[in-house]
Structure 1
């Protein structure tokens, strides 16, 4: 029976051991967030770059930090996905008049066909980041293969760099949101209705300006027409008088 990541991760971290193949992996199972801003919604991409010491990957289990309540995994056609739920000690307000009584403790991807050692894949998880600037979120992961497994659960000690670890857990630091949310709105910040209203206003202003210009030009054109018309009448009268005199 497959070991749960939560139990394995806790045991591994407590003992300071790593369940892994006999050789050190050249690339890690890591996480790339679309944003690290505290309190923001982020799309986390977990990359699986290789198998276990040459063996094809069958299962990847990703443990969620305790601050994370809900998680929405993206569908990957090559894998079945399961959310492992955990009861909360106390219900948490969901912000919509209800409450959460359990949270997503782990997300497990099981390959429909084992992922060969020389191929890579990625999993996307959508979630809201905690409001804790400067805090490090750790996502211990276990990669089970046809032969052996690799536990990416090592966490650096205070003052230590993860670069020195053989099997570091995927992690990142929460940062402050950029900007203060104030200031003049730009076209990128406006809704379609606001942008449309602005365009209509601009068009109306341009139309009014054009109409004013036409109205201002009308008297001049009228005088030119009148002068030309008067000249034509004079020439016509002279021709008429000349023809009468000759007759």
Structure 2
């Protein structure tokens, strides 16, 4: 079975069996992902966090299915979680299961992370279906919003990461560079103004000193002339 077919069959199985389980989930509970935007063909660390369990039952594992469009996936080693990786025929990671070494109470926040690199031809959004497994029951976070639908209105939304174009990222870097350059020019102008202000009193003193010396020389010349005339 190809990797793509395996992913779709896994997602279909979750959708088929998980939505009924997801219905009793607490409305405010969800599995979120951060950041929610990454750049194609660049590595990024995604953190999947959750609060609440299944009907307040402690969480024992998170099973995360990878979407099509990822060139690489590297789960982060964490002493609080045991990690199991399932790969497709193409060698790419299809599913990552994080099993908690100690069940996480429903009133505490839990999180797992992985480094991913979207392929150059990845779709505009990447959905990560997550099955939250608890001591009693489980919740499938697999729902996707329809066009124009508010994702927050879903009972069990899947974490979704938007793919930003590389040029958008370059533009942001360019704006930051221009801002830094403007700040540097401003600081340089302020420094020049400060130097000019500091040198102004010195110039005044030197000018006054020259004037006094000139007057003294004139007085000496007049006195010498009078002596010769007498």
Partner of 2:168: 178
Quote how far apart the aligned CAs of 1:163 are. 1.8
From the superposition, tell whether residues 134 and 60 of structure 1 become closer, same or farther in structure 2 (CA, over 3 Å).
Answer: closer
Q: Deviations for 1:115-137, whole angstroms, at most 9, x for unmatched residues?
A: 11111111111011233587110
Partners of 1:34 and 1:10 lie apart in 2 by 24
Mapping of residues 150-161 of structure 1, within 5 Å: 150-161=139-150
Work out whether residues 153 and 168 of structure 1, in 8 Å CA contact, stay in contact via their aligned partners in 2.
yes
From the superposition, tell whether residues 18 and 112 of structure 1 become closer, same or farther in structure 2 (CA, over 3 Å).
Answer: same
Quote how far apart the aligned CAs of 1:16 are. 9.1
Partner of 2:135: 146
From the superposition, tell whether residues 116 and 166 of structure 1 become closer, same or farther in structure 2 (CA, over 3 Å).
Answer: same
SS of residue paired to 2:152? helix
Structure 1 residues without counterparts, runs of 5 or longer: 89-101, 189-247
From the superposition, tell whether residues 105 and 8 of structure 1 become closer, same or farther in structure 2 (CA, over 3 Å).
Answer: closer
SS of residue paired to 2:11? helix
RMSD: 4.7
Partners of 2:169 and 2:80 lie apart in 1 by 40
Work out whether residues 80 and 109 of structure 1, in 8 Å CA contact, stay in contact via their aligned partners in 2.
yes
Q: Are 1:130 and 2:119 counterparts?
A: yes
From the superposition, tell whether residues 17 and 80 of structure 1 become closer, same or farther in structure 2 (CA, over 3 Å).
Answer: closer
SS of residue paired to 1:156? coil
Structure 1-normalised TM-score?
A: 0.61
Q: Give the length in aligned residue pairs.
A: 213
Partners of 2:66 and 2:31 lie apart in 1 by 15
Partners of 1:180 and 1:170 lie apart in 2 by 26
From the superposition, tell whether residues 133 and 79 of structure 1 become closer, same or farther in structure 2 (CA, over 3 Å).
Answer: closer
Q: Are 1:111 and 2:100 counterparts?
A: yes
Partner of 1:65: 67
SS of residue paired to 2:113? strand
SS of residue paired to 1:69? strand
Structure 2-normalised TM-score?
A: 0.65
Partners of 1:18 and 1:132 lie apart in 2 by 30
Mapping of residues 1-247 of structure 1, within 5 Å: 9-13=11-15, 15=16, 18-20=19-21, 23-26=24-27, 27-33=29-35, 35-88=37-90, 102-132=91-121, 135-176=124-165, 177-178=167-168, 180=170
Partners of 2:56 and 2:169 lie apart in 1 by 46
From the superposition, tell whether residues 41 and 11 of structure 1 become closer, same or farther in structure 2 (CA, over 3 Å).
Answer: same
Q: Deviations for 1:64-93, whole angstroms, at most 9, x for unmatched residues?
A: 1122132111122111011111112xxxxx
The structure with more radius of gyration: 1
Quote how far apart the aligned CAs of 1:153 are. 0.8
